[in-house]
Amino acid sequence: MIVVGGGLIGSAIAWRLAGAGRTVRMVVGEPGAAASRVAAGMLAPVTEISFTEQALLPLNLASLGRYETFAAEVAEASGLPTGLSRTPTISVAYDADDLARLTTLKEFLDRIGLKAERLVSRDARRLEPLLSPQVRGGLLVDADWSIDNRLLWAAIGAAGRRAGVAEVDGFVHHVRRSGTQVSGVTLADGTELDAAVVVVACGAWAGQLTGIDPLPVRPVKGQILRLDPRGLPQPSQTVRAITQGSEVYVVPRAGGREVVVGATVEEKGFDRGVTADGVYELLRDARRVLPMTAEYALAETTVGWRPGSPDNAPILGPGELDGLVLATGHYRNGVLLTPVTADAISAYVLTGELPEEARAFTLERFATSHPTPPSPPSPASSPPSSPTASPPTSSPPAPETVQL
Ligand code: GLY
């Protein structure tokens, strides 16, 4: 079988399936561009919740509930650290209007049964002494953690290689078929790979695959910064803030190595530019609530693309062809949803049954009519021959990452 995409989601699926005895080739895509590298690594089902994306909450909570075991398993299988941090998240408001917004959020969280402790300014600063005295109040959210996504990604990749995953350099642009059965993929350089099962896990690029109906996945640009504290004090937990209507998050890494500040949310397709305005606003907002960040060195500016779907929830399970499996559209929650996605997709490939928790997230929810669903991947089937392919296109440009 082939896994298209070597980010966190693709690597975790490939690792699980290789561990179950499958022969897995993973086409890694453009690793420098993967959201898995760019992301801040928040595991935040509570503070990332949006009023319109409530249907996603059970899946997000299920995945967080698996994270400790998942990270321990990855560390054990790879011999590498994953950088899981179980310190809580503090979400703060900068001015009176921001506090009104945070209060609305708190009321929403109460209504749907999510725990967040209200903090007056003094208590927030006692918990996080680097917070500005200007901060008007906040929420303490025990359930929102973080992980060093770059460490985790490296560890899952190593675990996969140990389990036998074969990594293929290249960028898949075309899905090949034989009748109603998937038969493999074509890479941008024209290389054809045969497989009876193809798992699409290429994030924001899933919507560009040819040979199948276009998947409803769009790139949502995010600019993000990495700061080097240079030995200065750094926040002891993730700080999210609403500052004069704009939102920012500041995620420290253990050991004072780096502080991640993110992120813009821009519907600009695969625009790759780091802009002065994007960097300015992130630094301004971080400094408003954590003045110390102004003293840090600007170490890296990066652009990434979240895979957005029409409801910004993932697309999991059967695609339009027999043997075509989808694991994309994770939007703002790809790092968080990695364990539950890997479990659900590997179970689907191995048994033909999508676990209950993932059933609300199939592609079918976007269909206006309901054609006969394709059969699940067959454990015994072999790749059909005589595939056809469109001419290859070139792989996408790498995003701008500037090491400063
Ligand atoms: N999950 C954080 C972001 O998408 O910016």
Task: Please indicate whether residue 262, judged by its CB atom, sits closer than 6 Å to ligand 1.
Answer: yes
Question: Regarding predicted confidence, which is higher, 404 or 208?
Answer: 208
The CA distance from 46 to 102, in Å, is 13
Mutate to test the pocket of ligand 1, among 36, 224, 238, 249 (most ligand atoms within 8 A of CB): 249
pLDDT at residue 54, rounded to an integer: 85
User: CA–CA distance from 156 to each of 80, 204, 328 (Å)?
Assistant: 9, 20, 18
How far, in Å, is the centroid of ligand 1 from the Cα of 205? 17
Kind plus residue range of the DSSP H or E element containing 317: strand 315-318
How far, in Å, is the centroid of ligand 1 from the Cα of 223? 10
Question: Which tens digit of pLDDT belongs to each residue from 296-311?
Answer: 999 999 999 999 999 9
Task: Tell me which CATH homologous superfamily contains domain 2-40+150-217+310-403.
Answer: FAD/NAD(P)-binding domain (3.50.50.60)
386 Rama class: left (phi>0) / alpha (psi -120 to 50) / beta: left
* Residue owning the nearest CA to atom 2 of ligand 1: 332
The CA distance from 267 to 334, in Å, is 18
pLDDT at residue 374, rounded to an integer: 55
Looking at every residue in the chain, the average pLDDT score rounds to 92
Count of beta carbons in the 10 Å neighbourhood of residue 193: 20
Task: Please indicate whether residue 219, judged by its CB atom, sits closer than 6 Å to ligand 1.
Answer: no
Whether 88 has a pLDDT exceeding 60, the answer reads yes
Task: Please indicate whether residue 307, judged by its CB atom, sits closer than 6 Å to ligand 1.
Answer: no
**Quick check: do 2-40+150-217+310-403 and 89-142+219-306 share a fold?**
no
Task: Please indicate whether residue 344, judged by its CB atom, sits closer than 6 Å to ligand 1.
Answer: no
The CA distance from 352 to 361, in Å, is 16
3-class SS of residue 65: helix
Angle between helices 149-163 and 57-78 (to 10 degrees): 60
Phi and psi at 40, nearest 5°, equal -90, -20
Q: What is the mean pLDDT of residues 318-331?
A: 98
Mutate to test the pocket of ligand 1, among 38, 48, 309 (most ligand atoms within 8 A of CB): 48
How far, in Å, is the centroid of ligand 1 from the Cα of 373? 33
Please, which pLDDT band fits residue 379 given cuts at 50, 70 and 90? Answer: very low
Question: Which tens digit of pLDDT belongs to each residue from 152-207?
Answer: 999 999 999 999 999 999 999 999 999 999 999 999 999 999 999 999 999 999 99
What does DSSP say about strands 198-200 and 2-4: parallel, antiparallel, or unpaired?
parallel
% the chain with pLDDT above 90: 86
pLDDT at residue 378, rounded to an integer: 54
Query: How many Cα atoms within 13 Å fall on the side-chain side of residue 382?
Result: 1
Question: Which tens digit of pLDDT belongs to each residue from 41-72?
Answer: 999 999 988 888 889 999 999 999 999 999 99
* Residue owning the nearest CA to atom 4 of ligand 1: 332
Q: What is the mean pLDDT of residues 384-388?
A: 32
Please, which pLDDT band fits residue 368 given cuts at 50, 70 and 90? Answer: confident
List the CATH code of the domain at 89-142+219-306: 3.30.9.10
Whether 403 has a pLDDT exceeding 90, the answer reads no
Q: Quote the Cα angle for 233-237-241, to 5°.
A: 100
The CA distance from 275 to 72, in Å, is 38
Would you kindly state where each structural domain of the chain is located, as residue ranges? 2-40+150-217+310-403, 89-142+219-306
How far, in Å, is the centroid of ligand 1 from the Cα of 331? 8
pTM (2 d.p.)? 0.91
